[in-house]
Amino acid sequence: MPVLRHAFLLNAVRELGRSVPDIIRARASWDGCLERIRGACTASLGMEFDTLARFDARSVVGLFTHPEQARILARLVDERARLCEAHGRYAEALADSVYAGQLLMHSRARFGLPRDARAADVLEREAGTPSKLG
């Protein structure tokens, strides 16, 4: 069973890696970019982005079995924050940035710093960093 979970998570991270460049290119269009973010969440986590974003970060991280999942969602929330900032929605951008930070904080609290750090390395290796892509 652990091998299947690992394969699922690696596939989720790779799916996010394939989606992030499309998300970045679509930032000029609010609706188009938001749809790509939603699609990336569904493809990588199997859950709806809007539903996850409605709950507090601690509850959402409690749904996940691995820190990679929390990191993926935090990355998508951060992309939405960048979209909001690009369209002048600064209050929403700030709220999303705070939420992404809370997701990471609760991930570290739940899974421990060493596991969360490994999750960060996997995500950066597979999906890249915003500075490399943007």
Q: What amino acid is encoded at 78 in this protein? A: D
Q: What amino acid is encoded at 65 in this protein? A: T
pLDDT tens digits, one per residue of 89-131:
999 999 999 999 999 999 999 998 777 777 778 777 777 766 4
CA nearest neighbour of 36 among 9, 55, 18, 60: 18
Give the count of beta carbons closer than 10 Å to the beta carbon of residue 37.
24
Q: What ranges do the domains of the chain cover?
A: 2-126
Position with higher pLDDT, 35 vs 123 = 35
Portion of the chain with pLDDT greater than 90, in percent: 54
The CA distance from 22 to 1, in Å, is 33
For residue 79 the two structure tokens come to 């992309």
